[in-house]
Amino acid sequence: MGFWKTNVPKYKDIIRKYIIDKDENVLYQAQKLSRKLIEHQIAPEEVISLHKSIMMEGNYPAGKIIDSFDVLLEVMMGYGLAYREHQSLRTEQLALRNEIEVAASMQETLLRTSIPSVSGVDIGAISVPARKMNGDYFHFVSDEDYRVGIAIADVIGKGIPAALSMSMIKYAMDSLPEEDYSPGSVLKSLNRVVEQNVDPSMFITMCYGTYDAKTHQFCYATAGHEPGFFYKAKNKEYIDFCGRGLLLGINKNTEYKEYEVRIELGDMIILMSDGVTECRTDDGFIERDDLTSYIDQYIHLPAQEIVNNVYKDLERLQDFELRDDFTLIILKRIN
């Protein structure tokens, strides 16, 4: 309201001066006023309506009304320039969006992994990016000795830089020697890769573990990653992973301690990214007990159905708007 109160008299004065003297300098004042109107998001139809009301109030003859259109045209030219700039930016935005779509599709292809089929083990996994590109990564490795390797990583950050870092982690893992997939060695090797190739302002957390379906032992090491859970079916309790370790890329000489736990019949290994544990509602972050209660609701189901249902519940809890990349993996011993 204050903007109109100040500038309506200015516009009236510009029109009056121009139709009397036809001074070209007055049109320059109209240009400046046009910029102010655009800055204050005054719609062009409002300007036309104002112009019409001013001319009707002044009871000007037809010739003067026609002359006043020069002023209106000068003002509208400013809107035209702004519109063309908007169209140009929109075209650039669409081109960028298309590039991101292509990059997201390529990332999905590059990071694709298949859930291994191992006798006596049921595995479920889900990973959903908060944006087009995923800053989370998970990967499975299996061998003929009934061992399953599970990797889960998270870049502290989002968007294209995070996605590129995840692609680098994937290919670094692919290049590791097959004879040494012990969790501590894997994290130690990847730590050196990250330290040498990732910007110091970015950090990567990771957990890597191997489950031996013959001995039912799960060996793991963590690099600052969100602690997972062990579900112990006998006592119906959730036990946190031990250790956190140093994030990847902080110190190239870091050693990662390995931990081991036996998985009994019905027990589960639960791995996740912080998009799961830091699920936010209007009341704040969900608590650990809230998360385990969601898992408890579906614990009788196959592992893939558990992760799918937990994701749907937490997505609904956030009004279907993920605030961070979401990755959840469950390995359940069924035999």
Q: Where are the domains of the chain?
A: 2-103, 114-333
Q: Which CATH superfamily is domain 2-103 in?
A: KaiA/RbsU domain (1.10.1240.30)
- Provide mean pLDDT across the span 1-13: 81
Average pLDDT over residues 6-12: 87
What is the assigned CATH class of domain 114-333? alpha beta
CA atoms within 13 A on the CB side of 162: 22
Model confidence pLDDT, tens digit, residues 226-244: 889 999 999 999 999 988 8
User: In the predicted model, is pLDDT for residue 57 greater than 90?
Assistant: no
pLDDT value at position 307?
97
Q: How far apart are CA 268 and CA 298, in angstroms?
A: 13
Specify the pLDDT at position 1.
54
Q: What is the four-CA torsion angle of 293, 150, 326, 153, rounded to 10 degrees?
A: 130
Q: Model confidence over 155-209: pLDDT tens digits?
A: 876 667 777 788 788 888 888 877 677 999 999 999 999 888 887 778 899 999 9
Asked if residues 212 and 146 have their Cβ atoms less than 8 Å apart, the reply is yes
Residue 226: how many other CB atoms lie within 10 Å: 20
Which one has a higher pLDDT value, 278 or 269? 269
What the block records as the tokens of 228 is 């997972």
Render pLDDT for 296-322 as a digit per residue (tens, 0 to 9).
999 999 999 999 999 999 999 888 888
- The pTM score is 0.74
pLDDT of residue 203: 83
